[in-house]
Structure 1
Amino acid sequence: MLATYRVRIESDSETAPVQLSNGNLEVEGTIDAKRHFSEWTDPHPKPTYLFALVAGDLEQVNRRITTPLGKKIDLRIYTEAAFIKQTDFAMQSLIESIKWDEERFNLSYDLERFNIVAVSDFNMGAMENKGLNIFNTRYVLADTETATDEDFHSIRSVIGHEYFHNWTGNRITCRDWFQLSLKEGLTVFRDQEFSADMGERSIERIADVNCLRRVQFPEDAGPMAHPVRPTSYAAIDNFYTATVYEKGAEIIRMMHTIIGEELFQKGMALYVERHDGQAVRIEEFAQCMQDASGFDFRGLFFNWYTTSGTPHVQFTSSYNQRERTFTLSAGQQVKKVNPESALLIPIRISLLSRNGREYKFEDGSFSQLLLLDNRRGSWVFEHADSDLIPVIMHGFTAPVRYEHHYEDEELAVIVNHAKDGFARYEAMQRCFLRLFEQSLKQPKALVEGAKKIGKLCQEIIDNTQRSAQEKALLLALPSINDVMGQFDAPVDMDAITNAYERVLRLVALKIRLPLTREFKAHPQPEQPRYSVKDAGERALRGLCIHYLSVFNEPKIRQWLFELYEQANCMTERMNALQGLNRYHDDWRSQALDEFSQRFADYPLVMDKWFALQARYEGEDTLTHLEKLVNDARFDLTNPNRFRALVGTFAQQNLLRFHHQDGSGYRFVASQIRRILGINPQLSARLLNVFASVAKLDEARQQMVAQLLRELLTVESISVDAREVIERILSGLK
């Protein structure tokens, strides 16, 4: 239900000198000596969920800009006075977002003012309320002394995301909550493209895919699985999920991949022309893309919106010596729902010879887009050499799990010679995953496997064509979650954590000397600033520290502490701290104490301090965490602080969270119990960490099931939390 709004705000002048609402400020003034008023008009029809009102004692910064298309806009950011100086990067990100949306999508802002308000207790990351975006301070406040490169990147992305909602979510909104991905999937795609255009495109794509695999793939494989367009819900808050957001964005990306940038923009223009000021369904967006391109997005392709589960695609290849033809075949299966169902899957490939030479296709290009529109498909390429290697899924063209049997030498060729950055990264990850398989199943082959990895890592380090950021990504081990994803249930969690430590140490040993040389070759940038190049340099330094910190030697521990003392920005400081955090000794304690004293007045930085200790994997971790949750600095009601400690432990300290004695599960459940009645949204979201237990052994499942049943008896439990618990329980034994 859409309506225009005229809002009058009255408040005490001292306690709430700032009054904000949607739209343009029409008039403001005093009522009497103690009270004042303001009136706001939003001329654009909107649903009630986009209404916002802010009143309080806040400071502001403002910029008056003229956009590339000549639009004049007054930009303002509001937050607490103590942190107002940390808003410069957010303001610059907003300006970049406005400029980018005009130039890439031809979409201009439609009001005289754009306001951002940042408060520390906001539950979500941010919200796109029309003309008055509400943010958690985590995604606004930053300077090099208090924020890491990752923080800067996230701020730019989230600022862009919420601004881009002005058209994809606000001017054109959802008919009902089942259409949530209409705005979120599309806008995530837009903010991903914004980040890619602002940074190193292939690196951004790798980060997006890693997020999808780390969060959405397990969601699709567990009891919380649901289609991108859900069919039912008890609490809509529970469907602000990775499936709606990240998988929804991948569906939009597949559309873009199939029809290309020009036709995609034609479809976007048609979408705006037809549906501006309306509340519509996903079908309307698909129809616009179909009408603009001639491609049938309402037919087989639309199954992506209604099918849950991650498709599995198995590739095979063969060579016909007599015909000189190379054949690539693919078969798909969606195991979660209907094994007989098929999805339309775009697949971009290239072919490489073993010496790195690219195969030229008939149209003169060096890559081809294939469409798998049935359960099986095959493609034949003529005039082919016998040593061709298929490089599959350039840029990860579909949200699928896929397999092709490669020899170790073939993966090395792809790492060293493939033109596509994602393909290089994927091949290297598969090399690492083979080490884990060997560690678990063929320990005798592990030494030889590590030798090959060491040689490949050396080649990556020596390759002058690779940026520092790409080297850091290529050399990084897969996460434990990635390793778990390679095995069918029940997963032996203890065996995997032990194997992970073995492989980490073995790889660190093999590349210790070249890493040491590489670290020295990339000194800390003299002037602390955030830029793509400097962030890449610091990422590579951080990767070197990660591996070298494995060695619990006095010289290395002292070196890490010296790096902490010499750090000239938060990224360098956190790199050193994370290395020190591996072992509990005086160096670690001294650094943590100094850190907490230095940044005691910066809540977001203290969140990092809590999170560091939640990631510590020592045997005494839980004893220490029990003390921290009773520390005066731990604010149970602040969502950032709760996520920093409890959320980080459950999501990033899998060794202790999944400990076989159940102590990690009991700790998290007990902390969630404390906020069940205080913060329904946060408690429901954190309960999702227990969904991963469905893939583990029966003993762990039973422990978690008992804890969840006990939480169901809490009188203050919300509908949000109850729905999540009941869905997780349905997937446990």
Structure 2
Amino acid sequence: MKEAQPAAIHLKDYQVPPFLIDKTELTFDLDESVTIVTSRLHMRRNPASKKANAPLVLDGGEDVRLVAVAIDDYQLPPAEYRLDDNQLIITATPDLFVLTCETLIEPQNNTRLEGLYRSSSMFCTQCEAEGFRHITYYLDRPDVMSVFTTKIIADANVYPTMLANGNQVDEGETEEGKRFLVWHDPFPKPAYLFALVAGNLNKIEDTFTTMSGKNVALEIFTESHNIDKVDYAMDSLKRSMKWDEEVYGREYDLDIFMVVAVDDFNMGAMENKGLNIFNSSCLLATPETTTDDGFLRVEAVVAHEYFHNWSGNRVTCRDWFQLSLKEGFTVFRDQMFSSDMNSPTVKRVEDVSFLRTAQFAEDAGPMAHPVRPASFIEISNFYTLTIYEKGAEIVRMIHTLLGEDAFRKGSDLYFERHDGQAVTCDDFIRAMEDASGVDLKQFSRWYSQAGTPVLSVAFEYNEAETSLTLTVKQMTPATPGQPTKLALHMPIRMGLIGKDGQELTTQHQGVAAKEHVLHLNQLSQTFEFKGVSQAAVPSLLRGFSAPVKLNIDLDAQELLLLLSSDTDGFNRWCAAQQLAVNELSVLIEQAKNGETLNIESHLVEGFASILKDENLDPAMVALILTLPSASYLAELADSIDPKAIAKARKFLKEQIANQLKAELVTCYERNKMSDAYLPNAEQMAKRQLKNVVLGYWSVTHDTAVAKVISEQCLTSDNMTDEFAALSIAVNSEHSEADKLLAGFYDKWSNESLVVNKWLMLSASQEGSDALAKIKTLMEHPAFDLKNPNKVRSLLGGLTQNVPCFHHQDGSGYAFLADLIIELDKRNPQLASRLCTPLSRWRKMEASLSALMKAELERVQAQDLSKDVYEVISKSLA
């Protein structure tokens, strides 16, 4: 651990920059050994700054070597500037001047994958959040917006493709015989949106005509062996452009939109203005190599990065505390897009399932923070589920409170009012208020208050007065730095389902309707509904109208009523999940106490009716049949016993499967298809249901199922069915699991993204020698510690492997800690994200908790980056 601990940066200390950069002119002379970067910054003092005589302080990186610096072509001698703590400091400057810097960097040695680096044979950049300072000295903060012109010089034989932000405005040849291209972006942007790519790339081309009649060239670039895998991404891009015009009135603004696939990338993708750079896993897709989930991910990520053109680029965030201003809003936009392209209910269930499992756990852990954090040590650690997913839920609540038309007026006003500006979450809220007339002052607490609220609900039916009263209490648990919580304002969409299964029309505050939106804004509130003709069960939080935990005492029959009769598909899924949670909780306690597992499952009754109903959406049936994940059950537990959770899930799954085997087999046969593969909603739904029921069928004692699994794995014409069958084989007692796994690798060894699936599945395979096999996998030619996708795949498999990762000797935890220590030296961003499984040590049962804590302390004793130090120190605090 470093002697001088990194200092926190606080939102309350924000000050406007003393200087502004009106124009940024960059020249990159790319070379295999050293790249020379020359920047000409047209600067002036900021009239809004109170520091009239402040020195010029530019951010730089430890990997940037300054060669020369000049003001208005006057070369500064060393006595007139200094380098201190990765900053270039110039004490005396004019009020208006051009600063020229020449720096040397070595992209080929950049393992942190920030700034300019090499991925395979290409140069590429990643500058969000603070990567630009690893390229040259700059005011590397989001509220300094500048117009960029970029000149790229390189050997045309090695790097025939040279790309940067904006439109190409010039090209030619240098005296040394190198080729150059010049790109100009007319829209001011902060340095984090800068992008450069150079390599030997292939491309596909298309065009899009905007609503005003402008033709935009669309180009997607990959290395030659992947060029056949981007047609779906191009289709997704055009659908995104059309949707953003129709729903938000947002038209694309440049002459060209470019996307590049990169194998080595810390994140999913980056919205750099006009030149999006994507992790290959989020862009490449073919039926043979990509699952249905992969196709949906490509569609969603392409949309997300494109939508950033307005919600993030044209209007950006003032400081990194406002990160959710662009990310939460854009996640909401991409979620709504995916809902319109596919099934809205299925999409909502998938999003909420992820939120309740992962983000709720984050909210309850040591890294809990508000959507607008008050402080951070390393901003890279705050690209979190809270910022993205909970941030999107906040925007969704605004949409619900205002209504669709008023929300559109608010977004129009926001874009019009702040185009070309760096703004705050308060500016977004203010635009929504001004456009709608709705007071969102109390609602704004969602941005500053951490934690997941818990709603406790009681209801009482008065038959004599045909009324029902609903009492709702809200409580948000204490989080680090916030022991006391205030009441939040949230919308509660709800209806009432009569005991006969019919949705009731009721009156609330003089309005008669089948569905009401309640405004909960007090710690305790009572709502009365009149004209309730019969005893009813409340259907609350329809569509998950607020990101909260719901406690309501419903018995099994009431949950079965909601499962079978609720008109809200999302709440039908919720009812099934709650039934399963109730039964699994009993089984988990039995397992913890060493008792024989035994339960009479009400889920069997509910699942039987669902399986027989051929009119239901197969995708919804698949989701309802899927038991709560081990991660979600862990999030609900006071003390996590991973082995008890795994044992309980296995037992309940076997009980359901054995009692419903005939229905499962019939459902499997009914959803088999002979049609050619299409990544459309109808086919995806059938494949999803078919593979869920096959998973159940596999745990019965039916000798026929092993042959079905092998046949599906070996003969399927699509990766969805092939990988589903392989996963089922590996995670069941299939006699040929090892053979199928080896054959899968042999078949796909030349497809890197498919090999990542193999790595994950291989690492998840249980057995007494599991950890030894995982260590062997790290020596396999298919594994590369420098590639984040491969690291995440391997460790994703490890953490799913309960007996291995949670072994009583702590060897699984020690293995992860060793990797964190090693990776921190080469890629701190990746290393910090791998700390999450260990950071939840306080919730583990006592013996495992002590082992986890010991490994965290061992990591803390190292000389750590800011990234890992922040996560580890907060985990142990």
**Structure 2 counterpart of 1:359, one-letter code:** L
Q: Secondary structure at the match of 1:627?
A: helix
Q: In structure 1, how many angstroms separate the alpha carbons of the residues matched to 2:599 and 2:631? A: 25
Q: Secondary structure at the match of 2:373?
A: coil
Q: Deviations over 1:555-577 (max 9, x none)?
A: 32232111111211000101110
Residue 346 (str. 1) matches residue 497 (str. 2): no
Q: In structure 2, how many angstroms separate the alpha carbons of the residues matched to 1:619 and 1:211? A: 31
> Which of 718, 741, 746 matches 1:597?
746
In structure 1, the partner of 2:644 is 495
In structure 2, the partner of 1:361 is 506
| Pair 1:409–1:462, CA change in 2 (3 A) | same
Residue 711 (str. 1) matches residue 853 (str. 2): no
Q: Secondary structure at the match of 1:449?
A: coil
The offset of 1:168, in angstroms, is 0.5
> Which of 781, 784, 796 matches 1:647?
796
The offset of 1:350, in angstroms, is 0.3
Spell out the pairing of 1:512-527 with structure 2 (5 A cutoff). Answer: 512-527=661-676
The offset of 1:340, in angstroms, is 5.2
User: What's the % identity of the aligned pairs?
Assistant: 39
Query: 2:562, 2:572 within 8 Å by CA — same for their partners in 1?
Result: yes
Q: Deviations over 1:196-229 (max 9, x none)?
A: 0100001100111011112100000011101101
Query: 2:597, 2:651 within 8 Å by CA — same for their partners in 1?
Result: no
Residue 149 (str. 1) matches residue 149 (str. 2): no
Residue 670 (str. 1) matches residue 818 (str. 2): yes
> Which of 229, 251, 256 matches 1:108?
251
> Which of 634, 650, 658 matches 2:783?
634
| Pair 1:671–1:448, CA change in 2 (3 A) | closer
CA RMSD of aligned residues (A): 1.7
| Pair 1:62–1:131, CA change in 2 (3 A) | same
Q: Secondary structure at the match of 1:485?
A: helix
Structure 1: tracts of 5 or more residues without a match: none
In structure 2, the partner of 1:391 is 539
The offset of 1:585, in angstroms, is 5.8
> Which of 432, 443, 451 matches 1:301?
443
Q: In structure 2, how many angstroms separate the alpha carbons of the residues matched to 1:693 and 1:525? A: 48
> Which of 52, 56, 72 matches 2:215?
72
Spell out the pairing of 1:353-502 with structure 2 (5 A cutoff). Answer: 353-362=498-507, 363-441=511-589, 449-450=600-601, 452-488=602-638, 490-502=639-651
Q: In structure 2, how many angstroms separate the alpha carbons of the residues matched to 1:630 and 1:554? A: 37
| Pair 1:339–1:330, CA change in 2 (3 A) | farther
Residue 213 (str. 1) matches residue 356 (str. 2): yes
The offset of 1:554, in angstroms, is 4.8
| Pair 1:365–1:561, CA change in 2 (3 A) | same
The offset of 1:279, in angstroms, is 0.4
More helix by share: 1
Query: 1:71, 1:108 within 8 Å by CA — same for their partners in 2?
Result: no
Structure 2: tracts of 5 or more residues without a match: 1-143
**Structure 2 counterpart of 1:718, one-letter code:** S
> Which of 352, 365, 372 matches 1:229?
372
Q: In structure 2, how many angstroms separate the alpha carbons of the residues matched to 1:196 and 1:480? A: 27
In structure 2, the partner of 1:54 is 197
Spell out the pairing of 1:249-264 with structure 2 (5 A cutoff). Answer: 249-264=392-407
> Which of 533, 551, 559 matches 2:708?
559
| Pair 1:653–1:445, CA change in 2 (3 A) | closer
Q: Secondary structure at the match of 1:356?
A: coil
Query: 2:338, 2:347 within 8 Å by CA — same for their partners in 1?
Result: yes
Q: In structure 2, how many angstroms separate the alpha carbons of the residues matched to 1:494 and 1:55? A: 49
Q: When the two structures are aligned, how many residues end up with a matched partner?
A: 725
Q: In structure 2, how many angstroms separate the alpha carbons of the residues matched to 1:366 and 1:670? A: 57
Q: Secondary structure at the match of 2:503?
A: coil
Q: Secondary structure at the match of 1:300?
A: coil
Q: Secondary structure at the match of 1:77?
A: strand
Choose 614-623 or 602-611, whichever is displaced more. 614-623
Q: In structure 1, how many angstroms separate the alpha carbons of the residues matched to 2:729 and 2:615? A: 32
In structure 2, the partner of 1:135 is 278
In structure 1, the partner of 2:696 is 547
**Structure 1 counterpart of 2:868, one-letter code:** A
In structure 1, the partner of 2:100 is none
Residue 201 (str. 1) matches residue 331 (str. 2): no
The offset of 1:119, in angstroms, is 0.7
Spell out the pairing of 1:260-279 with structure 2 (5 A cutoff). Answer: 260-279=403-422
Q: Secondary structure at the match of 1:659?
A: coil
The offset of 1:699, in angstroms, is 2.6
Query: 2:499, 2:561 within 8 Å by CA — same for their partners in 1?
Result: yes
| Pair 1:511–1:16, CA change in 2 (3 A) | same
Query: 1:438, 1:445 within 8 Å by CA — same for their partners in 2?
Result: no
Query: 1:333, 1:339 within 8 Å by CA — same for their partners in 2?
Result: no
Q: Secondary structure at the match of 2:532?
A: coil
Q: In structure 2, how many angstroms separate the alpha carbons of the residues matched to 1:192 and 1:36? A: 42
Query: 2:149, 2:184 within 8 Å by CA — same for their partners in 1?
Result: yes
Choose 32-41 or 325-334, whichever is displaced more. 32-41
| Pair 1:188–1:70, CA change in 2 (3 A) | same
Q: In structure 1, how many angstroms separate the alpha carbons of the residues matched to 2:725 and 2:648? A: 25
> Which of 676, 692, 697 matches 2:845?
697
| Pair 1:590–1:176, CA change in 2 (3 A) | same
Q: Deviations over 1:369-398 (max 9, x none)?
A: 001100001111112134211001000001
The offset of 1:598, in angstroms, is 1.2
Spell out the pairing of 1:313-324 with structure 2 (5 A cutoff). Answer: 313-324=455-466
The offset of 1:672, in angstroms, is 2.4
Query: 2:762, 2:797 within 8 Å by CA — same for their partners in 1?
Result: no
Query: 2:357, 2:635 within 8 Å by CA — same for their partners in 1?
Result: no
Query: 2:210, 2:252 within 8 Å by CA — same for their partners in 1?
Result: no
Q: Deviations over 1:272-313 (max 9, x none)?
A: 11100000010000000011111112x211110111110000
Query: 1:185, 1:247 within 8 Å by CA — same for their partners in 2?
Result: yes
In structure 2, the partner of 1:624 is 773
| Pair 1:494–1:236, CA change in 2 (3 A) | same
Q: In structure 2, how many angstroms separate the alpha carbons of the residues matched to 1:75 and 1:694? A: 50
The offset of 1:528, in angstroms, is 1.5
Query: 2:587, 2:599 within 8 Å by CA — same for their partners in 1?
Result: no
| Pair 1:247–1:524, CA change in 2 (3 A) | same
> Which of 667, 680, 685 matches 1:536?
685
**Structure 1 counterpart of 2:600, one-letter code:** G
**Structure 2 counterpart of 1:245, one-letter code:** Y
In structure 2, the partner of 1:93 is 236
**Structure 1 counterpart of 2:186, one-letter code:** P
Q: In structure 1, how many angstroms separate the alpha carbons of the residues matched to 2:835 and 2:174? A: 48
The offset of 1:234, in angstroms, is 0.9
Query: 1:139, 1:154 within 8 Å by CA — same for their partners in 2?
Result: yes
Radius of gyration: which is bigger?
2
The offset of 1:553, in angstroms, is 5.9
Q: Secondary structure at the match of 2:780?
A: coil
**Structure 2 counterpart of 1:163, one-letter code:** Y
Query: 1:18, 1:56 within 8 Å by CA — same for their partners in 2?
Result: yes
Query: 1:179, 1:229 within 8 Å by CA — same for their partners in 2?
Result: yes
| Pair 1:344–1:525, CA change in 2 (3 A) | farther
Residue 726 (str. 1) matches residue 873 (str. 2): yes
